[in-house]
Amino acid sequence: MMLSRVSTHVTRTLEDRDAQVKIMENTVTNAEKYFGQFCTALASYTRKTAKLRDKADMLVKNVIDFANTENPELRTALKNMSEELAKVQDYRHAQVERLETKVVNPLKRYGSVIKETRTEIKKFNTVRNKEIKELEKLERLRHRAPSDRQMIFQSSTGAYDKAESNVQKASVDAARTTHQLEEVIDTFQQQKIKDIQKILSDFLTIEMVFHARALEVYTSAFHSLQECDLEKDMEDFRSKIHIETGTQDARALRATNLSSNTSWNTSNMSLQNSLPRQTRVQDDSDEESDEEEEEDDEEEEEEVVRETSRRTQYSRVRK
């Protein structure tokens, strides 16, 4: 009866420990699985962020090269914008370094932590397996002649005592190992939840700091670009390709042609108007000359009459 009670107690204890160890193993297995996925994903995220930084650096260089080919207003605005973009890439570089230090590396180190925890579980499983073997030996002895247990105790007291002692010893070792494993798993679980909280909090903090600074710089870059006076650049551009000068010359040429035609028509009209005026002047002068000739003839006639009259009077006096 004593062996039966011992066997029953050990069997119940083994079942409880099996359930306990299964929970522990699942805890470690889940941590190994998901921490590995976190590490892979965040490491890839960090690498792609670094690649984005490099691509943005190329964009900054391209913007500067393009700005050097443009007019002053746009050139200044683009250079200011490129400087702001370069600042963002400096922040992104710091973001990459912080992600590697505070997020990726701690997750990588969890591989060794999980390995050590699994080693402790293996030690416990070794002790538990030894306990199970001792219990199986005891059970075999108990089931040799179950109908005559009193005879078994009398004939094989030393063997049963030894078997029972081995089972009890194995149970004590298993209990001690279980207690140690509980402490290891408890420490592992506590450290795991603290670490995942800190790692993800650091990740969010790094992202918030970067995006806050980037938003400030992007806002400055946006305003710098919007303040560009494009019309001034267009005026400068048009002056260089002589669009306005060419238009003025064309207008001046048309105005010159128009004025010359107008002058020619005006001169023709003046000539045509002057001809009647000259005719009228000539006619007036002819009339005046005729009147003067008539007056001269009349004066000559009067002079002849006066001379004839004087001669007549003189001849009378002599007579």
Lowest-confidence segment of 160-174, 229-243, 276-290, 294-308 by average pLDDT: 276-290
The range of the structural domain enclosing residue 248 comes to 242-319
Query: Do 94 and 33 fall within a single domain?
Result: yes
Other Cβ atoms within 10 Å of 18 Cβ, number = 11
Average pLDDT over residues 94-111: 94
Query: Do 132 and 263 fall within a single domain?
Result: no
Residue with tokens 């108990």: 142
The one-letter amino acid at 233: D
Residue with tokens 């108007």: 273
Question: Pick from 74, 65, 38, 51: which is nearest to 231 by CA?
Answer: 74
Indicate if the pLDDT at residue 147 is higher than 70: no
- Report pLDDT for 119: 87
Average pLDDT over residues 269-273: 47
Burial class of residue 213 (count of CB atoms within 10 Å of its CB; 0-12, 13-18, 19+): middle
Query: Do 52 and 151 fall within a single domain?
Result: yes
Query: Do 49 and 192 fall within a single domain?
Result: yes
Domain CATH number, residue 22: 1.20.1270.60
Confidence (pTM): 0.62
Q: Which residue has the higher pLDDT, 216 or 158?
A: 216
Percent of the chain with pLDDT over 70: 58
207 CB contacts (<8 Å, ≥6 apart)? Answer: 95
Query: Do 222 and 250 fall within a single domain?
Result: no
Indicate if the pLDDT at residue 95 is higher than 60: yes
255 CB contacts (<8 Å, ≥6 apart)? Answer: none
Query: Do 77 and 205 fall within a single domain?
Result: yes
Query: Do 287 and 227 fall within a single domain?
Result: no
For residue 314, name the pLDDT band (cuts at 50, 70, 90). very low
Q: What is the pLDDT of residues 112-121, one digit of tens each?
A: 899 888 888 8
- Report pLDDT for 86: 95
Lowest-confidence segment of 61-65, 174-178, 292-296 by average pLDDT: 292-296
* Total domains, the chain: 2
Lowest-confidence segment of 24-28, 129-133, 182-186, 309-313 by average pLDDT: 309-313
Read off the tokens for 72. Answer: 């002053």
Query: Do 148 and 286 fall within a single domain?
Result: no
Give the residue from 184, 212, 241 where a domain finishes. 241
DSSP string, the chain: -HHHHHHHHHHHHHHHHHHHHHHHHHHHHHHHHHHHHHHHHHHHHHHHHHHHHHHHHHHHHHHHHHHTTS-HHHHHHHHHHHHHHHHHHHHHHHHHHHHIIIIIHHHHHHHHHHHHHHHHHHHHHHHHHHHHHHHHHHHHHHTSSTT-HHHHHHHSHHHHHHHHHHHHHHHHHHHHHHHHHHHHHHHHHHHHHHHHHHHHHHHHHHHHHHHHHHHHHHHHHHHHHHT--HHHHHHHHHHHHTHHHHHHHHHHHHHHHHHHHHHHHHHHHHHHHHHHHHHHHHHHHHHHHHHHHHHHHHHHHHHHHHHHHHHHHHHHHH-
Query: Do 282 and 188 fall within a single domain?
Result: no
Phi, psi of 103 (to 5 degrees): -120, -60
Give whole-number Cα distances, 29 to 85, 115, 122, in Å: 44, 10, 13
Query: Do 58 and 160 fall within a single domain?
Result: yes
Query: Do 259 and 112 fall within a single domain?
Result: no
| C-beta separation of 103 from 202 below 8 A | yes
For residue 83, name the pLDDT band (cuts at 50, 70, 90). very high
